[in-house]
Structure 1
Amino acid sequence: TPASTDDPGTTDTPAPDVTETVTLVAYESFPSEDTPINEQLAAFTADTGIGVEILIAGDTGTMLSKAELTAGNPEGDVMWGIDNTFLTRAIDSGIFEPYVSPGIDSVDPRFTDLVPNGEATPVDFGDVCINYDIAALEGLGVEPPTSLDDLIDPAYADLLVVENPATSSPGLAFLLATIDEYGDDGWQDYWSGLVDNGVSVTDGWTDAYYGEFTYAGGDRPLVVSYGSSPPFEVLFGDGLTEAPTGVVESTCYRQVEFAGILAGTDQPDAAQQLIDFLISEPFQAEVALNVFVFPVNTYVELDPAFADFAVIPDESRSLDTEDVDANREDWIDEWTDLVIG
């Protein structure tokens, strides 16, 4: 999820007979125009009389920082997109009002176990992984990497773009993947190797994928993105029947995203109804094709393109949430000193 804008924008979902309106704060890649997700929000409005405005607030790290500054007097009513790498920080900052939805039993318990007291509500999951442009690597005569180790090989010099973990949730997930691989005392040397090998860093996913990744017109054929990116290219490419991008499965780090009621909302009842809707089958059925992550509602079937082209590793990388909570800021500070200087 990206972090390339500072100015939030608001999109109204038109609907009849609106009696009250809630604001859904979301990260930059959340659909805010005419898409099936927005059509579902319009259907929610038609059923409940509750209008939904979408307030785009940057990438997850940027969005969370803004929410912390306005804790208790929030800019919106519900927030979409805090992930498991930032969850404990969000909870400790007091930005969410706990709530357990009546529909929570439809959500995979692997995800609800992360919030046993209803601190937030799981809404989607996916894996942050190294993606590569198949044709671009072939044109360079370079084989796709198969491991994190490969990325510091001179054969891949100046080919990789990553996101800043201080501002980007996929950037943080990739940093955590390297800590998982090399340990608390070894990841620093690995990142020094990436710097020596010409890694490029952007603020967020949009700048990395659509700015520097070769498949979108940039000059770097390796990017930190998602295991669900290949089906996106197939579904929205011009007549594609095979994915033009690949995923390095051994690099994947599991990411779970949450929605939460913002503490201090003036409309807690309407906010609760929106949370209920966000995990319902009609809305969850649109998550994969619109946000390009996977639904947490166990009753939703994926589009065949996802079954054919998405990568969902049998065993994704992960770190203990308490370990991440205890060390996140120190790790980010160390990374900044090493990579940004």
Structure 2
Amino acid sequence: MLRRTVLAAALALTVTVTLTGCSLTAGESAQDGERRVVLATHDSFAMSEEVLDAFRDRSGITIDVRRLGDAGALTNQLVLTKDSPVADVAYGVDTTFASRALAENVFAAYRGPGADQGPQRYAIGDGERLTAVDVGDVCLNVDPAALAAKGVPVPTGLADLTRPEYANLLVVEDPATSSPGLSFLLGTIATLGEDGWQDYWRALTERGVLVVSGWEEAYTQEFSGSSGKGDRPIVVSYASSPAAEIGEDGKPRTTAVLDTCFQQVEYAGVLEGAANGEDAREVMDFLLSPEFQSQVPEQMYVYPARSDVELPAAWQQAAPQPEASATLDPAMIAEHRERWIDEWRALVQG
């Protein structure tokens, strides 16, 4: 998640109001009579003040943003406080944690009209309690110029990285501490199956894969194609990352290998027992509105869930949305996630 905060800060004016650490709770208002909805979300939430102000002026509802960490921390907090919700709406529970939130009955049933404009493609569970807001595909990113200098071709798929010429070129994030790291691990499991993913990671280890704790270290320090100018020309990042690496010539300096992507969907829903349920549903409708969805790419560096919202022109060239990302049943992820991470740790870290 942190990578989106870093990238969005370079190009977008983001909302700075955060309620973490404040005494205000869901259902309270800063001024008598004010309509206020608390939105619990992840640390990478960003949206222009202009868009939020326009919604407030039109609806009379002020959205207070409470950032609660990454998707895992957000989900844990929602589960722990479900009997006394910390917010009215939650946004950012992703593919890897959605089944847990649904099993714990964190969300109330509500599906707004915008859900039928594309988000239902990503429906989970009964499709009534969580609605997709954005999609962020995790995949390999490469620095073509650095690879060319080494006489190594751009990889076309996961299998290429096990070949001798790719030794000591790849940096990945630890799936135990990083959302993209976990998604990449899940992508190898989805692609290679239970019988193949462990051999694949053994081969990567033999080829000198570098494992770091999170995206920021991997992308901005170790990867050669970004600001850190590291010495690794292949990194696990996002299909959208090249949109932040467009040079003065108008062309992206990096590229995503779209045949290595794993689909990571982020959902939103009205919390069960929300103090402001009616206004919360209106905020849900806003999250799926063309106004909000059209800002999602440049504000949060992910793809909008609505199918009728076009990507920015620069994205259409540098960061087209993958057409066939790998997926896993969220219920399967919930059942096996911890075992897979433990097995990965034993294989790669010993």
Determine if the TM-score, normalized by the shorter chain, exceeds 0.5: yes
Cα 1:258–1:265 change in 2 (3 A) is same
Partner of 1:181: 191
Partner of 1:191: 201
Q: Measure, in 2, the Cα distance between the counterparts of 1:77 and 1:176.
A: 31
Question: Post-superposition shift, 1:246?
Answer: 1.0
Partner of 1:172: 182
Question: Post-superposition shift, 1:286?
Answer: 0.6
Higher mean C-alpha displacement, 156-165 vs 241-250: 156-165
Q: Is 2:301 aligned against 1:292?
A: yes
**Mapping of residues 1-341 of structure 1, within 5 Å:** 1-2=1-2, 11-12=16-17, 19-31=34-46, 36=48, 38-112=49-123, 114-214=124-224, 215-217=226-228, 218-234=230-246, 239-341=248-350
Q: Measure, in 2, the Cα distance between the counterparts of 1:152 and 1:131.
A: 16
In the alignment, structure 2 segments of 5+ residues that lack a partner are 6-14, 19-30
Partner of 2:24: none
Q: Measure, in 1, the Cα distance between the counterparts of 2:324 and 2:310.
A: 21
Q: Measure, in 1, the Cα distance between the counterparts of 2:117 and 2:187.
A: 29
SS at 1:250 equivalent: helix
The count of aligned residue pairs is 327
Q: Measure, in 2, the Cα distance between the counterparts of 1:314 and 1:277.
A: 27
Structure 1 residue runs of 4+, over 4 Å off?
A: none
Q: Measure, in 2, the Cα distance between the counterparts of 1:317 and 1:73.
A: 37
CA RMSD of aligned residues (A): 2.7
TM-score by length of 1: 0.85
Question: Post-superposition shift, 1:123?
Answer: 0.5
Higher mean C-alpha displacement, 86-95 vs 175-184: 86-95
Q: Measure, in 1, the Cα distance between the counterparts of 2:223 and 2:60.
A: 43
Instruction: Say which structure is richer in strand.
Output: 1
Q: Measure, in 2, the Cα distance between the counterparts of 1:59 and 1:290.
A: 17
Instruction: Please say if residues 4 and 44 of structure 2, whose CA atoms lie closer than 8 Å, have aligned partners that are also in contact.
Output: no
Partner of 2:12: none
Residues 275-310 of structure 1, C-alpha deviation per residue, up to 9 Å, x if partnerless? 110000101111112112221223322211122222
Question: Post-superposition shift, 1:81?
Answer: 1.7
TM-score by length of 2: 0.83
Residues 45-84 of structure 1, C-alpha deviation per residue, up to 9 Å, x if partnerless? 2222222222222222232233333333343332222222
Q: Measure, in 2, the Cα distance between the counterparts of 1:96 and 1:272.
A: 12
Q: Measure, in 2, the Cα distance between the counterparts of 1:145 and 1:75.
A: 45
Q: Measure, in 2, the Cα distance between the counterparts of 1:253 and 1:25.
A: 25
Instruction: Please say if residues 239 and 321 of structure 2, whose CA atoms lie closer than 8 Å, have aligned partners that are also in contact.
Output: yes
Cα 1:29–1:206 change in 2 (3 A) is farther
SS at 1:136 equivalent: helix
Q: How many percent of aligned residue pairs carry the same amino acid?
A: 44
Instruction: Please say if residues 213 and 221 of structure 1, whose CA atoms lie closer than 8 Å, have aligned partners that are also in contact.
Output: yes
In the alignment, structure 1 segments of 5+ residues that lack a partner are none
